[in-house]
Each structure stands twice: as structure tokens, then as C-alpha cells.
């Protein structure tokens, strides 16, 4: 082997060693990069999870605040209902000529969502006036059958009296009319249920 051949062999050996060293360094660097990426991903996942839990906790807190506000509102409303000073007083007036009963609010406050259960003999009927009835406002209930019933009663009464006279008996006249009950139910303006019953004789 000449001198130059020896030099080339040494150079080749050094180059190979350098290449192997470079590969080793690159491999280690690549592995560390992957580990760093893995750690970074884990950190990001933890951060995302923490953010999600923070949002969830915030939603729970907002919901709790809303429930608290609703509870406070209900409590205030219930307290107001307990102190409800509303006053509604109904009075009924019968008009024989028109066969109409006029029911008037003589109280100082408004009646809301009023309904009336009309009871006469074995008959019951529900009447629903306007939604709000203020002081001195009225609603009417018509009895269209009354004129005919009154006429029939007068005819039967006349025949009965004539028959009694023919039989030389005394028969006192009987008055025509029926008792009617009005079961009135309504709400005060803050939602308290109220009830009043009126009874009148219509003829």
C-alpha cells in the first residue's frame, strides 16, 4: 500500500464514523422532538379539559343564579299575595221587564278572569264575562225563558182559581218566581283566587 492509499483509507474511515455519529445525533434529536410534541399535546389536552370544566362550572353557576333569582321572584310574589288588599264586591239587580240580571262590581278593585256558575232549580250554567271587570262595571245574565214561564204560570193559576170557585173552595194565589244562585269566581290582579255567592229571587 502506498502512502496515498493509506491516507484515503483513513479519510474514508473518519467519514464513515462521522456519518454514523450524525445519524445517531439525528435519531436522538428526532426522538426528543417526538417526546416534546407528545408532552405538548398532553398539555394542550389538559388545558382543553380544564377549559371545558371551567365552562361547565360557569354554566352551573349561571344556572344556580337564575334559579336563585326565580326563587326570590316567587317569594316576593307569594309575599305580595299574602298581603293582597284587593276588594271586589258583587251586587245583582233583577229587571222583570227585560228578564235580565245585572251583576255589578261595587268594590274598589278589578276582577280578573271572572266566571259565574248560575244555579236555578236543577239547572246549572257557566257564564264567562269579559276578562277584566273594574269598579262599577257590570255584566248581564239573560233569562229568555222567563216571560213564557210567567205567562204559563198566570194561565194555570187563573184556571186553578176558577176551578176552586166552582167547587166553592178558597184557593190563595201563588206567586211565580224562582230562586237563582250566582257562584262568582275571579282572580285579583296579583293572582289570588276569590269567590262570592249571590242569591236572588226572580219572577
Cα 7 to Cα 14, 16, 17, 19, 199, distances in angstroms: 11, 14, 15, 18, 134
Does residue 116 register a pLDDT over 80? yes
Residues 97 and 74 in one domain: no
Residue 64: what are its φ and ψ, rounded to 5°?
Answer: -65, -40
Does residue 92 register a pLDDT over 50? yes
pLDDT average, residue stretch 58-64: 72
Residues 177 and 151 in one domain: yes
pLDDT average, residue stretch 66-85: 58
- Pick the closest to residue 136 from 103, 95, 177 (CA basis): 103
pLDDT confidence tier of residue 144, bands split at 50, 70 and 90: very high
The residue from 59, 83, 107 where one domain ends is 83
The residue from 48, 83, 118 where one domain ends is 83
Average pLDDT for the chain: 80
Residues 126 and 187 in one domain: yes
For residue 168, the SS3 value is coil
Summarised one tens digit per residue, pLDDT across range 8-22 is 555 455 455 555 555
Q: What does the buried/exposed string (b/e) look like for 108-145 if buried means 16 or more CB atoms within 10 Å of the residue's CB? A: ebbbbebebebbeeeeeeebebeeebeeeeebebebee
Residues 76 and 156 in one domain: no
Number of folded domains that form the chain: 2
pLDDT average, residue stretch 73-86: 59
Residues 71 and 124 in one domain: no
The residue from 38, 67, 83 where one domain ends is 83
Domain extent for 79: 1-83
pLDDT confidence tier of residue 137, bands split at 50, 70 and 90: very high
> For position 174, which CATH number holds?
2.60.40
Residue 193: what are its φ and ψ, rounded to 5°?
Answer: -75, 140
Residues 62 and 1 in one domain: yes
Residues 46 and 138 in one domain: no
Torsion angle of C-alpha atoms 118, 93, 103, 88, degrees rounded to 10: -110
pTM of the model: 0.55
Helix (H) / strand (E) element for 109: namely none
Amino acid at each position: 500500500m502506498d502512502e496515498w492509499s493509506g491516507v484515503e483509507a483513513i479519510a474514508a474511515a473518519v467519514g464513515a464514523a462521522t456519518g454514523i455519529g450524525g445519524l445517531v445525533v439525528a435519531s436522538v434529536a428526532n426522538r426528543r422532538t417526538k417526546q416534546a410534541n407528545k408532552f405538548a399535546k398532553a398539555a394542550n389536552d389538559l388545558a382543553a379539559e380544564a377549559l371545558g370544566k371551567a365552562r361547565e362550572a360557569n354554566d352551573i353557576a349561571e344556572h344556580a343564579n337564575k334559579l336563585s333569582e326565580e326563587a326570590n321572584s316567587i317569594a316576593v310574589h307569594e309575599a305580595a299575595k299574602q298581603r293582597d288588599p284587593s276588594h271586589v264586591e258583587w251586587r245583582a239587580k233583577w229587571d222583570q221587564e227585560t228578564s235580565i240580571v245585572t251583576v255589578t262590581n261595587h268594590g274598589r278593585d278589578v276582577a280578573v278572569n271572572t266566571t259565574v256558575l248560575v244555579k236555578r232549580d236543577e239547572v246549572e250554567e257557566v257564564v264567562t264575562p269579559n276578562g277584566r271587570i273594574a269598579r262599577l262595571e257590570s255584566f248581564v245574565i239573560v233569562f229568555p225563558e222567563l216571560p213564557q214561564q210567567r205567562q204559563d204560570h198566570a194561565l194555570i193559576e187563573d184556571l186553578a182559581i176558577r176551578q176552586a170557585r166552582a167547587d166553592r173552595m178558597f184557593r190563595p194565589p201563588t206567586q211565580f218566581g224562582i230562586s237563582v244562585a250566582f257562584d262568582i269566581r275571579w282572580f285579583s290582579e296579583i293572582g289570588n283566587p276569590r269567590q262570592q255567592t249571590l242569591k236572588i229571587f226572580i219572577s
